[in-house]
C-alpha cells in the first residue's frame, strides 16, 4: 500500500511531484491503475495542462469514476495547480469545459480581473503568499511566503463548506522547497487518515 498515488492522466509534472514525495520519505507511485489508486492512503491529482484536455484524458482512462470511488473512502486527495482546478464544476479555459464537480464553483481567467490589458493573462514570478488563518503549511520553509506563481486562471468557490469533509483543497504552484511543503501537507492529512484506511 502506498502513502500517495500520483494520478497519471498523461499530463503534468509527474516527475517533480514524485521526486518531492520521495525526498520527504513518502512511498509514492505514478499510476492510472484502479486497484493501486483505491488502496493508497491518499492521492495527488497533479497539474500542468489545459483543463478540457485534462478532463478528456481522465475520462478516456475512466479515472473520473475511480476518483469518485476513492473519495467515498473518505481518504484525502490533494490537487496541485490544474489538478486542484479539476475539482471544480467548470472552467472557462479555451471555450469552457466541465470539471469533476467535487467542489461547487468555477475556474475563471485572471485576465479581466487583474490586468489592465485583457489580453494579458499570465501571472508569472515569485510573490508573497498570505493566509487568512494561521496554519502549518509553510512550517520549516526558510523562504516563508515566497512562492513561484504561474497561472492564467483562478478558482472561485461558491459555498464555503466543501461537499466532502475530508477533501483537502490544497493549491500548490511551485515552491522552492516544494518537498518541505509536500511533507507538511502529508504530515497533516496522513495523520488524520491513519485510522480510516
Partner 1 sequence: MSKNLRIIPKIDIKNFNLVKGVHLEGLRVLGDPKDFIKHYYDSGADEIIYHDVVASLYGRNQLKELVSRTANNIFLPITVGGGISSIDSVQSMLASGADRIFANTAFVRNPKLINETVKYFGSSTIVASIETMYRNDDYYCSIDFGREETQIKLEKWLAKIQEEGVGEIIITSIDHDGTGKGFDLKLAERISKRIYIPYIINGGFGKLSHFDEVLNCCEPSGIAIGSLLHYGKKTNNLFSNNEEGNKDFINKNKKYFNFGELDLRKIKDYLKNKVSIRVI
Cβ-based nearer residue to partner 1, 38 or 176: 176
Rounded distance between C-alpha atoms, residue 22 and residue 16, angstroms? 10
Contact range with partner 1 by CB under 8 A, out of 46-54, 66-74, 99-107, 184-192: 46-54
Q: Is 7 in the site for partner 1 (CB under 8 A)?
A: no
Q: H helices of the chain, where?
A: 14-23, 34-38, 51-60, 63-72, 82-85, 111-114, 178-193
Q: Determine contact, residues 139/145, Cβ cutoff 8 Å.
A: no
Interacting residues with partner 1 between 50 and 89 (CB under 8 A): 50-51, 53, 82
Q: How far apart are CA 148 and CA 172, in angstroms?
A: 9
Residue 10 touching partner 1 (CB under 8 A): yes
> Which of these ranges, 18-26, 34-42, 69-77, 154-162, lies near partner 1 under the rule CB under 8 A?
18-26
Q: Is 179 in the site for partner 1 (CB under 8 A)?
A: yes
Cell reading at 76: 484525502
Nearest to 37 by CA among 60, 58, 8, 57: 8
Binding to partner 1 by residue 159, rule CB under 8 A?
no
The reply to whether 36 sits near partner 1 by the rule CB under 8 A is: no
Say how far apart CA 101 and CA 59 lie, in whole Å: 13
Give CA separation, 116 vs 14, 82, 112, 155, 194, in Å.
Answer: 34, 25, 7, 20, 48
Alpha-carbon gap, residue 161 to 170, rounded angstroms: 15
CB of residue 144 vs partner 1: minimum separation in angstroms?
12
Q: Does 156 bind partner 1 (CB under 8 A)?
A: no
Closest distance to partner 1 from the beta carbon of 188 (Å): 19
Quick note: the x/- pattern for partner 1 over 111-130, rule CB under 8 A, is ---xx-x-xxxxxxxxx---
* Contact set with partner 1 (CB under 8 A): 10-16, 19-20, 23, 48-51, 53, 82, 93-94, 114-115, 117, 119-127, 142-143, 146, 148, 150-152, 174-179
Amino acid at each position: 500500500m502506498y502513502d500517495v498515488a500520483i494520478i497519471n492522466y498523461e499530463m503534468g509534472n509527474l516527475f517533480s511531484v514524485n521526486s518531492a514525495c520521495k525526498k520527504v520519505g513518502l512511498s509514492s507511485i505514478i499510476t492510472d491503475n484502479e486497484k493501486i489508486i483505491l488502496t493508497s492512503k491518499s492521492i495527488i491529482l497533479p497539474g500542468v495542462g489545459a483543463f478540457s484536455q485534462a478532463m478528456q484524458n481522465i475520462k478516456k482512462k475512466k479515472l473520473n469514476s475511480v476518483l469518485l470511488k476513492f473519495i467515498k473512502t473518505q481518504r484525502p486527495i490533494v490537487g496541485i495547480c490544474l489538478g486542484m482546478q479539476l475539482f471544480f464544476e467548470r472552467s472557462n479555459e479555451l471555450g469552457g469545459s466541465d470539471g469533476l464537480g467535487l467542489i461547487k464553483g468555477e475556474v475563471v481567467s485572471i485576465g479581466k480581473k487583474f490586468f489592465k490589458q485583457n489580453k494579458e493573462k499570465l501571472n508569472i514570478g515569485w510573490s508573497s503568499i498570505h493566509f487568512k488563518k494561521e496554519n502549518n503549511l509553510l512550517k520549516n520553509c526558510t523562504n516563508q511566503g515566497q512562492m513561484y506563481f504561474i497561472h492564467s486562471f483562478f478558482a472561485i468557490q461558491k459555498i464555503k463548506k466543501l461537499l466532502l469533509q475530508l477533501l483537502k483543497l490544497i493549491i500548490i504552484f511551485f515552491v522552492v522547497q516544494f518537498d518541505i511543503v509536500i511533507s507538511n501537507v502529508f504530515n497533516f492529512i496522513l495523520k488524520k487518515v491513519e485510522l480510516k484506511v
